[in-house]
């Protein structure tokens, strides 16, 4: 990346056009980052609440696609929940994703284990990887759009601007987690 490059008027116009075309995807991406940041910043509280809920409330039964029965605990989002069940080894926790699809509802265990905080951390790490894949996908879509509409013109600076915005959103989640692990609050 050439940090000294000043965008041309055409590059600025193309960037504005691309921002408008991909605005909805960027909005969803930033919302997903914000949701993960909220979970990460409240991980201890959410973990404690999930544990307390598992002890005090049976919760409604959720049967996942693999046939396992879980008890609903807390919602993390409109499609993911922390669930629990009692096993011979003690309480087990899971992040369960419930998707309504045309073919029916899909209920999948994303992460599970006996330590609710570890389950939440594993879920967050997996979701960060998903965000990075999503970022790469949007970057490729922007590149394809620009290559199609502006053939033989270098619009790399526009693609880089998308990548930077999305990378920044993902890294904000990481920096918050790293600062909290060192006892620093933001």
pLDDT along the chain (186 residues), means of 10: 73 91 94 92 95 90 94 94 94 95 90 96 94 94 94 90 89 60 42
Query: Which tokens in the block code for residue 132?
Result: 């990075």
Q: In this predicted structure, what is the pLDDT of residue 26?
A: 93
pTM: 0.82
Q: In this predicted structure, what is the pLDDT of residue 86?
A: 93
Smallest CA-to-CA distance from 149 within 160, 161, 141 is with 141
Query: Which tokens in the block code for residue 144?
Result: 């394809």
Q: In this predicted structure, what is the pLDDT of residue 178?
A: 53
Identify the helix (H) or strand (E) that includes residue 177.
helix 156-181
Q: In this predicted structure, what is the pLDDT of residue 3?
A: 57
Q: How far apart are CA 85 and CA 97, in angstroms?
A: 16
Q: In this predicted structure, what is the pLDDT of residue 2?
A: 54
Helix axis angle, 43-56 relative to 116-149, nearest 10°?
130
Q: In this predicted structure, what is the pLDDT of residue 101?
A: 85
Smallest CA-to-CA distance from 28 within 148, 130, 180, 178 is with 130
């Amino acid at each position: 990346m050439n940090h000294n490059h000043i965008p041309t008027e055409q590059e600025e116009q193309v960037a504005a056009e691309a921002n408008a075309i991909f605005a909805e995807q960027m909005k969803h991406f930033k919302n997903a980052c914000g949701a993960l940041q909220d979970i990460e910043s409240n991980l201890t509280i959410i973990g404690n609440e999930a544990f307390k809920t598992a002890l005090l409330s049976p919760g409604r039964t959720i049967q996942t696609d693999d046939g396992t029965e879980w008890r609903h605990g807390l919602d993390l989002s409109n499609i993911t929940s922390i669930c629990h069940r009692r096993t011979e080894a003690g309480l087990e926790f899971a992040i369960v994703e419930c998707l309504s699809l045309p073919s029916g509802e899909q209920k999948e265990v994303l992460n599970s284990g006996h330590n609710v905080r570890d389950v939440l951390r594993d879920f967050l790490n997996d979701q960060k990887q998903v965000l990075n894949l999503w970022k790469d996908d949007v970057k490729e879509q922007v590149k394809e759009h620009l290559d199609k509409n502006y053939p033989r013109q270098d619009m790399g600076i526009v693609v880089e601007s998308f990548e930077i915005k999305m990378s920044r959103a993902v890294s904000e989640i990481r920096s918050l987690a790293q600062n909290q692990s060192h006892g620093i609050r933001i």
